[in-house]
Amino acid sequence: MYNIEKPQKAIQDRCKYVSNEKSKLRCSQFTEDDRKSVFKQFWKMSWSEKQVFITTQVESKHTERSRNRRKEETSRRTCIYIFSLKKADRTKIRVCKTLFANTLAIKQWTINNRLKQNLNISQQEKKKKEDQTDIENNQTEINKKKSRELRRNRLKEFF
C-alpha cells in the first residue's frame, strides 16, 4: 500500500564541541571508527532493541536545585539527561546530545519521545508502588483493629 522508498541511514557529521580537561563531555575522545561501529551495531537491532539501547545509554538525573530562587515550584526542568556511548573496549564516554543523535542517525525528537515514554513508565511504576504501600498500610491498620477487638472480647469473657 505504502511503498515509499526512504533514503538509507547514514552517519551524520560530528558535533563542533571541543572538550577541555574541566569539561564533563568527552566528544573528542570518540573517534570516527568508534562512531561507525556504534552506528552499524545500532542499525542491526530491531525497533524495540533500539528503544532499549537509547534508554540504557541515556541516564536521567533529577536537578539538584531550581534556577528561580524565589519560586522553586516555577522551574519547568525536573531532570537532566546524561548521554553516553560505549567504545569498542566497552568503556562509556559521556557525549553531547548532538553527537549522540548524529552517531545513531536519528532525530532528537526520537530521543526526546523515547525519554518521555520512559519517564511516564517510571512515574506509573512509582505510583503503583505508592498505592501498594498504601494498601499494605491500610491492611496492617485493619489487622491491628481486629486484634484489639479480639482482646477486648476475650477480656469481657473472663469478667
Residue 29's pLDDT band (cuts 50, 70, 90): confident
> Once rounded to an integer, what is the mean pLDDT over residues 33-38?
91
> Once rounded to an integer, what is the mean pLDDT over residues 110-130?
69
* Secondary structure (DSSP) of 37-68: HHHHHHHTS-HHHHHHHHHHHEEEEE-SS-S-
* Secondary structure (DSSP) of 84-107: EEE-TTS-EEEE-HHHHHHHHT--
Mean pLDDT of the chain: 78
Residue spans of the domains in the chain: they are: 27-63+75-131
For the chain, give the percent of residues with pLDDT over 70.
Answer: 66
Residue 3's pLDDT band (cuts 50, 70, 90): confident
Residue 83 falls in which region: left (phi positive, over 0), alpha (psi -120 to 50) or beta: beta
Half-sphere exposure of residue 55, counting CA atoms within 13 Å on the CB side?
A: 16
C-alpha distances in angstroms, 56 versus 1, 19, 68, 137? 35, 24, 31, 34
Q: What is the pLDDT of residues 130-145, one digit of tens each?
A: 656 666 666 676 666 6
Contact 83, 57 (CB under 8 A): yes
Among 4-8, 29-33, 37-41, 131-135, whose mean pLDDT is lowest?
131-135
Long-range contacts of 79-83 (CB under 8 A, 24+ apart): 79/119, 81/115, 82/58, 83/57, 83/58
Q: Which of 17-21, 59-63, 75-79 has the highest average model confidence (pLDDT)?
A: 59-63
**pLDDT greater than 70 at residue 93:** yes
Q: What is the pTM of this model?
A: 0.64
